[in-house]
Amino acid sequence: MEPDGVLIERSARGCPDAFVEVARRHEVAIHGYLARRAGRQAADDLLAEVWVRAFSARGGYDAGYGDARPWLYGIARNVLREHWRTSSPGEPAAPAETWADPWDGVNDRLDSAEEARAVASAVRALPAAEREVLLLVAWEQLSPAEAALVLGVPQGTARSRLHRARAALRRVLSERDADEAGVST
Amino acid sequence: MSEEPGEFTGSELLRAAGRVRKPEPRVLAGARAALWSAIAGELLGTGPGSERPAVAGRETESGGAARRRQAGPPQGAREVPAGGGDPRG
């Protein structure tokens, strides 16, 4: 299978339809990213925008990056931000907290409402920057280095944010487990 | 540093919280149709990407705002630093 970078480069050099294969490879993942953060309906609407923007921007893609996922997630992230801005035009600007808070549907996605509350509250308590790295790794299955590309930060920054996020989450969930054990004994 | 998702407490709960259903095929097809439309526009010289393509990894003056914002993996989100905060961490 040809790397994404080869296909994107080819699409920028006279064979634009080569880009469609890149979209096919990643469409479910990108839709999932959008759906987890903005809901399924919005994801349905926004996916096309991601492809059109990515296609338009492909001329600047560095073909040295074989896997296009970080680049596509970065574009999807910007599409989401604009979605939040335009869907709540009268709201005070708090994009970091608003757009990066993907928890509305979590109760529906976990079997236990109690588990959902515990996870949601633990992750919500994280600083937005740490939460974003954590969710890119946990939900999108990116490596810390790939998450750094999505966010446009140095790898070391992404790694340290991830480390702090995991430590905080571990602490909160451990305390919860300890409380439950204390109640049950 | 061991940072695999499965290695920390709560990772399974976290992954479960991120589970979503796959999109309907018609949704994926519709998005691809929009992409095909952009491709057709370029081939016909009417689309936003119809200008001469840039060499991969480089920018052009005529690339447009979207291209300048989103060219190459490191720049995918450079427009907006992590969480809207300081990109230097």
Nearest to A57 among B20, B35, B66 (CB): B66
- Asked if the Cβ–Cβ distance from B27 to A44 is below 8 Å, we say yes
Q: Which residue has the tokens 């190459």?
A: B72
Query: pLDDT, tens digit, for every residue of B30-75?
Result: 999 999 999 999 988 865 554 443 333 333 333 333 443 444 454 4
Chain A residues with CB-CB distance to B44 below 8 A: none
> Is residue A58 a contact partner of residue B62, using CB atoms and an 8 Å limit?
no
Q: Does B16 touch chain A (CB under 8 A)?
A: yes
* Residue A97 predicted with pLDDT over 50: no
Cα atoms in the 13 Å half-sphere on the side-chain side of A56: 24
Q: Do B76 and A16 touch (CB under 8 A)?
A: no
More confident residue, A61 or B11: A61
Return all residues near A42 (Cβ < 8 A) that are at least 6 apart: A34, A35, A83
Mean pLDDT for the stretch of residues A107-111:
57
pLDDT tens-place string over residues A27-81: 999 999 999 999 999 999 999 999 999 999 999 999 999 999 999 999 999 999 9
State how far the Cα of B79 lies from the Cα of B59, in Å rounded to an integer: 15
Q: How many angstroms separate the CA of residue A185 from the nearest CA in chain B?
A: 22
Which pLDDT score, from 0 to 100, does residue A53 have? 98
Which residues does chain A have within 8 Å of residue B88's beta carbon, measured at their own beta carbons? 153-154, 157
B78-88, pLDDT tens digit by residue? 443 333 333 23
